[in-house]
Amino acid sequence: MVGETIHEVESGSKTKLNTCNSKGTDIQEFYKDCNVFVTGGTGFLGKLLIEKLLRSCPAINKIFVIIRPKKGKSPETRKDELIKCVVFDVLKATNPDFHQKLVMVLGDCSLPKIGLSPSDYEMLTQQVNIIFHLAATVRFDEKFNIAVPINIGGTKEIIDLCRTCVNLKSMVYVSTAYSNCPLKEIKECFYDPPLDAEKDINYLSTTDEAVLEVLKYK
């Protein structure tokens, strides 16, 4: 996804791996001075993505990360918890100020306008150039009234956000590897969805949870 060159440098009896960002690569130029918005940034893949972008594309401007509100924890506290992950250790050693490029915004991908405040939503539409949508529930036995608002509704809201961004360059959607699993052969083409997203979301809001649980296994 993001290019880099790694050189092994012999130092006595120890071998060190130094990251050498090749000046002017196409990918680095693409991300130069850009603002990136990431959903699912606190998950496994999200942390790896954020670290990779910051380490391999040092000229990136900011990375906005949506986080759910937690009682008694400010966005800065949540950011401190995020960067405690071992995956950020190399960045801490080579660029201790990397965290200044991380901006946490409160929201919830299962809600309209992904739960952002009007000011944060407007800020993202004006500043964001690249969007990575990773947020999702990946449990195969998840309740419909949880899975649909996040996986379907959240994706729809991200698309709506993309349409209002004034300087958007790209949007990357990370989906499950089990899409179209009933097919023996999956071709590189667009498939029509078997269900209507709007109807699914509306159905959830008018159907008893017990009925939804029965339908889940069909």
Superfamily of domain 32-175+194-216: NAD(P)-binding Rossmann-like Domain (3.40.50.720)
Tell which residue, 160, 162, 83, has the closest CA to residue 129. 162
Place of tokens 């009925």: 211
Q: Residue 83: what pLDDT? A: 94
pLDDT value of residue 23: 62
Q: Give pTM, 2 decimals.
A: 0.81
Helix, strand, or coil (residue 89): helix
The answer to whether 117 and 102 have CB atoms below 8 angstroms apart is: no
From first to last of its 218 residues, the chain has per-residue pLDDT tens of 444 433 333 343 333 334 444 467 999 999 999 999 999 999 999 999 999 999 999 999 999 999 998 887 888 899 999 999 999 999 999 999 999 999 999 999 999 999 999 999 999 999 999 999 999 988 877 888 888 888 889 999 999 999 999 999 999 999 876 777 788 898 989 888 877 878 877 877 777 777 777 766 65
Helix (H, G, I), strand (E, B) or coil at 79: helix
**Residue ranges covered by each domain of the chain:** 32-175+194-216
pLDDT of residue 211: 76
Give 200's DSSP letter.
H
